[in-house]
Amino acid sequence: MLKVKKYSIKGEETGEVKLPKSLFAAEANNPKALLYEVINMYLANQRHGTSSVKNRAEAHGSGRKLYRQKGTGNARAGNLRTPIRVGGGHAFGPKPKTWYKRIPKKKKRLALRIALTEKSKEKKVIVIEDLKFETADTSKAQDLLQKISDDHGKKLLLIDGNDHNIIKSFNNIPRVSMDKADSIYAYEILNTDSLILTESALKKMTEVFNNE
């Protein structure tokens, strides 16, 4: 379905908007496998490998041997920093690492188109007129969302630009996230129940992603 309802800033239906086929009617060989691969790489790139423990060389304490090797009747102890002693270093503990995987641009963009196509097939795409708030107004934003969608699931609002009044108005609403139209990705689309676009955001997406 490439025609979707269009709403005014007051939540009134004003007509229909035709979605571009290049973004909302994409085709690919084995699309599920492509989405799995791209999203798997994306989630791996979100991991922060910052877990770290001190090994024997980094632990605090003297490197002096505790007592002589023979003649005491005790075990042959080394220094205080050995892993078997309290306060010593950790053996084979975690160290900072990276799970980064490079995502080919063509695959990433094709996965985005497939995700948008799925939302279009599910009839979960809504277009609204360009938002203009004089001041930040969360209640006004909530009222608009209730009028244009009866879906109580997650909503993703895409805008073009950085209007702080709009961002502040929608940021405090539960289960509503926002992003700029030229920086979206497949996981973000699939991780939401309803996709809401402003007219300028739809135009921006067409300019940025249409020919890539």
Quick check: 89 and 58 in contact, CB under 8 A?
yes
- Please tell me whether residues 77 and 128 are part of one structural domain: no
Task: Determine the pLDDT at residue 1.
Answer: 53
Domain range holding 151? 3-47+102-209
Q: How far is CA 76 from CA 64, 83, 85, in A?
A: 13, 14, 13
- Please tell me whether residues 171 and 199 are part of one structural domain: yes
- Please tell me whether residues 9 and 77 are part of one structural domain: no
- Please tell me whether residues 53 and 156 are part of one structural domain: no
- Please tell me whether residues 21 and 56 are part of one structural domain: no
- Please tell me whether residues 13 and 109 are part of one structural domain: yes
Percent of the chain with pLDDT over 70: 99
pLDDT of 211 strictly over 70: no
- Please tell me whether residues 126 and 147 are part of one structural domain: yes
**Over the stretch 15-53, which tens digit does the pLDDT of each residue have?**
888 999 989 988 888 999 999 999 999 999 999 889 999
**Residue 212's pLDDT band (cuts 50, 70, 90):** low
> For 74, how many CA atoms within 13 A lie in the half-sphere containing its CB?
8
- Please tell me whether residues 61 and 36 are part of one structural domain: no
Percent of the chain with pLDDT over 90: 60
- Please tell me whether residues 22 and 118 are part of one structural domain: yes
56-62 mean pLDDT: 91
State the DSSP code for 11.
S
Please identify, among 61, 83, 98, the residue that sits at the C-terminal boundary of a domain. Answer: 98
- Please tell me whether residues 112 and 127 are part of one structural domain: yes
Please identify, among 98, 117, 133, the residue that sits at the C-terminal boundary of a domain. Answer: 98
CATH number of residue 169's parent domain: 3.40.1370.10
- Please tell me whether residues 90 and 22 are part of one structural domain: no
**Residue 93's pLDDT band (cuts 50, 70, 90):** very high
171-177 mean pLDDT: 90
141-149 mean pLDDT: 89
Q: Please name the residues in contact with 80: beta carbons below 8 A apart, sequence gap of 6 or more.
A: 61, 62, 66, 87, 88
- Please tell me whether residues 55 and 72 are part of one structural domain: yes
DSSP 147-196: HH----S-EEEEESS--HHHHHHHHTSTTEEEEEGGG--HHHHHT-SEEE
**Residue 112's pLDDT band (cuts 50, 70, 90):** very high
**Over the stretch 68-82, which tens digit does the pLDDT of each residue have?**
999 999 999 899 999
Please identify, among 30, 65, 98, the residue that sits at the C-terminal boundary of a domain. Answer: 98
Task: Determine the pLDDT at residue 92.
Answer: 94
Instruction: Domain count for the chain, please give it.
Output: 2
